[in-house]
Amino acid sequence: MSSKAVSKGMYKLISPGYDILDKTFFRDNGRKNGRNPREVLSELIPDEKVMVLDMCCGTGTNGIGIAMKKPAVTVVGLDRSRPMLKRARRKVQELGLSNVKLICSDATDTGLKDEMFDYIIIGLVLHECDSILWRTILSEVYRLLKKNGRLLILDWERQTVLFDKLKFAPMYI
């Protein structure tokens, strides 16, 4: 993403503890079925030969989770943060996954071919973007999606409880 609103420096700073932070935010906070939303993503993708782009993949949690459960699926993780991708690459190697490829690129101009993906996931990104940036990202997404492709968005809802507002405050300091 090319935006001053979303700092590369911030991701470099949080990359060492990002996965722990992620698990903390996605613990069961009273959800009716107690399911992690990231787990639901993999259920929406068939275990067949399809191409999945994990746009702004960070440490690769979404894409790697899908690749582990769906070996026929090819996952491409794309992020502009090298420190986050370094962590993702380490996870892919430790798990011995051959169906994951990681690319360092900007989500607004990926350089990838048109209509390349059956599914594109955008997880926990759009809430950090101003309207110009998220529209630019979505334009790129639609260029990359095949004609009958699906876009899956996982993002935060607007926080109304004081504790939850405070929990996310460090992201904006």
pLDDT for 170? 45
Per-residue pLDDT of the chain (173 residues; tens, 9 = 90+): 344 444 555 555 554 555 555 555 555 555 455 566 667 788 899 999 999 999 999 999 999 999 999 999 999 999 998 988 999 999 999 999 999 999 999 999 999 999 999 999 998 776 667 778 878 888 999 999 999 999 998 876 655 666 555 555 444 43
Helical segments of the chain, H only: 8-14, 18-25, 37-43, 61-69, 82-95, 131-144, 162-168
In a domain, 42, yes or no: no
How many structural domains are present in the chain?
A: 1
- Cα distance between residue 12 and residue 163, in whole Å: 26
| Total residues belonging to the chain | 173
In a domain, 112, yes or no: yes
In a domain, 96, yes or no: yes
Its pTM stands at 0.74
Q: Tokens 């110009």 appear where?
A: 132
Q: Which domain, by its residues, includes 62?
A: 8-26+48-172
Residue 163 tokens read as: 């504790």
In a domain, 136, yes or no: yes
- Around Cβ 20, how many Cβ atoms within 10 Å? 9
In a domain, 94, yes or no: yes
Query: Residue 62 is part of a domain; what is its CATH number?
Result: 3.40.50.150
In a domain, 97, yes or no: yes
